[in-house]
Structure 1
């Protein structure tokens, strides 16, 4: 039993990383656009992880109630969600308050001197 990947690594990459990670990224982006707190992005990943586990179970006969794989899927989805959240929030802070903040990279901002 490997850490993240079940029987077929391509199933994990396509279903969890690409499809689930894309949905998680868009969820984080949407929450940041509405100025929601970051804990809501984390909380939203619980039902998305359950849905991803169900798709693994229904389509590929994987374990439905495996805490190990649920946690590994959750970690990947939280990473995608936080990435989308932080990218969007950093961009919004610089665009909405240009007299106050400047970009300090894609994930952060700083106060103008």
Structure 2
């Protein structure tokens, strides 16, 4: 049994949530800045999730073929990408079309009355 185990919460938080989630957030932000459709940053999370799974395997002796943890990593990355995408798109819509839209929160915009 290794010192590093698959269920270590700190490894998950540091590697997946902070590291992977930050990269996913920036990828979503970049896609929104180029006016890409929402499916593109979501599709980009597939290789990122595979790479993150490999880092867990290489650095912490985690199971490389664990579907459960791969899907968990993928869901966290998709959430990060979606947040980055929507936050950037809401800001761009309100800034680029100020006569039509205003921000209605961090993730959305609405038509001006």
- How high is the TM-score relative to the length of structure 1? 0.94
Alpha-carbon distance between aligned partners in 2 of 1:37 and 1:6, rounded to the nearest angstrom: 35
Counterpart of 2:99 in structure 1 is 99
Q: Please state how far the C-alpha of 1:56 moved relative to its aligned partner.
A: 0.1
Give secondary structure in 2 for the equivalent of 1:102.
strand
Q: CA RMSD in A?
A: 1.0
Give secondary structure in 2 for the equivalent of 1:74.
helix
Aligned: 1:51 with 2:51: yes
Counterpart of 1:85 in structure 2 is 85
Alpha-carbon distance between aligned partners in 1 of 2:7 and 2:72, rounded to the nearest angstrom: 14
- Unaligned 5+ residue runs, structure 1? none
Counterpart of 1:30 in structure 2 is 30
Counterpart of 1:16 in structure 2 is 16
- Unaligned 5+ residue runs, structure 2? none
Counterpart of 1:60 in structure 2 is 60
Cα deviation, 1:63-98, whole Å, max 9, x if unaligned, reads 101111000000000000000000000000000000
Counterpart of 1:42 in structure 2 is 42
Alpha-carbon distance between aligned partners in 1 of 2:30 and 2:55, rounded to the nearest angstrom: 23
Return structure 1 stretches of 4+ with deviation > 2 angstroms: none
**How many equivalent pairs are there?**
109
Give secondary structure in 1 for the equivalent of 2:78.
helix
